[in-house]
Structure 1
Amino acid sequence: MYHQIGEPGPRGTPYRGLTVHPRDFRRQMLWLRRLGYRGLSMARLGPYLRGEKQGKVVGITFDDGYANVLENAVPVLEECGFLATNYFVVRQLGGSNVWDADEGVPPSPLMDVAGLRAWAAAGHEVGSHTLNHPDLSRISPELAVNEIRDSREALEQIAGAPVRAFCYPYGHFTAALADVTREAGYDSATTTARGLARLDDDPYALPRVAVMRSTHLLRFLQKCLTRLEDGKRRRDERRPIVAPPGVA
């Protein structure tokens, strides 16, 4: 799980850790490739999550659709032969991360329609992060349905291709929201619950590994490729997971 790929803000900037330097991102991707892993979008990852295929694969996702991902991540992904999924906020295409404003986070530009289409033209997957990036667990069921369903329909018209991947804003979801996501026609939905995906996971409540500015290479490989992180997840599953506000 990535957000921005760019130059991190000055020390003290809120959520500075969500921006990974392009140099570090490239190093991470190159090491995955050297170790024999393939980076895949959620659509391509699906058969592995369902047990239909086996192999050394890693799902790569980006939340929010930041413009610096198109500029800094796409060339690296192309160099490595990897694919990824980006979850877009429909009504902020060409805008910024306005949902972070109350946290004091500086605005960062998001891809516009042309950027989204360039992302898709490069072979990467367009996913939905709702219409407006609300906390779906705190709005009415009717509004939540609209955010989930209508964002998919809008993105399909813009991208000219099916949209089958969804990401819950802030990682917050309920069983009812997972049902709505399934009924809206998505094939998968990701959360901010930490850990490696397993074959017995609900495809509409998938965990991810957060990669931060401070995630050094050894820790990156440990988090993504070893069962140490899965062991942590198993311990965490004994208590409720609460996603930090403002993240994702």
Structure 2
Amino acid sequence: MLTLNRQPIPILVYHQIAGAPPKGSPFRGLYVAPAAFARQMAWLKLLGYKGLSMGALQPYLRGELSGKVVGITFDDGYRNNLTHALPALVKHGFSSTCYAVSGLLGKTNIWDENIGIPQTPLMDEAEIRQWVAGGQEIGSHTHRHVNLLETDESGCREEMLLGKTGLEAVIGRPVEHFCYPYGHYKARHVELARELGFATATTTQRSRCHAGMDLLQLPRVPVLRSTTLPVFWLKIATAYEDRRRK
């Protein structure tokens, strides 16, 4: 199914909401300080935007509703999303989707260990339920955060299925939104997402969402440690990110 939104919709992507590790650490830019995140959410509210989870964003993507909306997503399921992002989201009445890795709940980002990214706690089952109780949504990021391009057909199906059913068992409700780990996927993985009943799937392709895009290949807008408030505004309100689409 293709998007039918009447105006561009940015879907923001965050990873860790925490102070950055020391200079020289890999992927240091993926850390957004809690105070910076709180300012960004306050600014969205001030500008008249509503921050929404992927589930709440669907009617806008399908063209059934229109308005100043922004999707808010978090990749990987870090505990610091719960401790540092949730209060700001709740304060402004925003919802969001956190893509968790079902087989690593309560563990750390072990998929990053070999490239030197510091190990950080992921939400455990109780914290996942706390996230949902706070008005937020859980999406799937596979079972073990695998690279789908390096996994055979049966392995991909298993990873995507267990990622979904494992989280459904934790929260007691359907998990309908998916995110491709590392942003790596091909056409068959899109079909698998469709076969498994996902309503949306997000990528690491940079752009706001425009009409005519596949709901299972949605681009997003990265928010980084270096994203100042003026650049944040450019990302959501102008074609700044659209020009970076490959």
Same fold, judged at TM 0.5 (above): yes
2:140 paired residue number: 128
2:3 paired residue number: none
Unaligned residue ranges in structure 2 (runs of 5+): 1-12
* Offset of residue 149 of structure 1: 1.3
3-state SS of the aligned residue for 2:111? helix
1:91 paired residue number: 103
* CA distance in structure 2 between the partners assigned to 1:51 and 1:181 by the alignment: 22
Q: Percent identity?
A: 49
Q: Is residue 173 of structure 2 the alignment partner of residue 161 of structure 1?
A: yes
* CA distance in structure 2 between the partners assigned to 1:84 and 1:125 by the alignment: 6
1:102 paired residue number: 114
Q: Pairwise CA RMSD of aligned residues? A: 0.8
2:200 paired residue number: 188
* CA distance in structure 1 between the partners assigned to 2:141 and 2:188 by the alignment: 17
1:8 paired residue number: 20
Aligned residues: 234
Letter aligned with residue 95 of structure 2: L
* Offset of residue 53 of structure 1: 0.8
2:162 paired residue number: 150
**Alignment partner for residue 43 of structure 1, among 49, 55, 62?**
55
Cα deviation, 1:193-230, whole Å, max 9, x if unaligned, reads 00101121100000000111111111111112212322
1:171 paired residue number: 183
3-state SS of the aligned residue for 1:9? coil
* CA distance in structure 1 between the partners assigned to 2:161 and 2:194 by the alignment: 10
Letter aligned with residue 94 of structure 1: G
* CA distance in structure 2 between the partners assigned to 1:144 and 1:228 by the alignment: 34
* CA distance in structure 1 between the partners assigned to 2:204 and 2:235 by the alignment: 14
Letter aligned with residue 231 of structure 1: R
Is residue 102–residue 162 contact of structure 2 (8 Å, CA) maintained in 1? no
* CA distance in structure 2 between the partners assigned to 1:160 and 1:20 by the alignment: 30
Cα deviation, 1:126-150, whole Å, max 9, x if unaligned, reads 1000000010111101100011112
* CA distance in structure 2 between the partners assigned to 1:112 and 1:178 by the alignment: 28
Is residue 208–residue 219 contact of structure 2 (8 Å, CA) maintained in 1? yes
1:246 paired residue number: none
2:10 paired residue number: none
2:91 paired residue number: 79
* CA distance in structure 2 between the partners assigned to 1:229 and 1:169 by the alignment: 21
- Structure 1-normalised TM-score? 0.93
Is residue 17–residue 33 contact of structure 2 (8 Å, CA) maintained in 1? yes
- Structure 2-normalised TM-score? 0.93
Cα deviation, 1:137-192, whole Å, max 9, x if unaligned, reads 11101100011112111111111111000000000111110000011011000000
* Offset of residue 232 of structure 1: 3.5
Unaligned residue ranges in structure 1 (runs of 5+): 237-248
Runs of 4+ residues deviating >2 angstroms: none
* CA distance in structure 2 between the partners assigned to 1:207 and 1:145 by the alignment: 22
1:21 paired residue number: 33
Cα deviation, 1:77-119, whole Å, max 9, x if unaligned, reads 0111100000000111000000001111110000000110000
3-state SS of the aligned residue for 2:14? coil
1:206 paired residue number: 218
Q: Is residue 232 of structure 2 the alignment partner of residue 223 of structure 1?
A: no
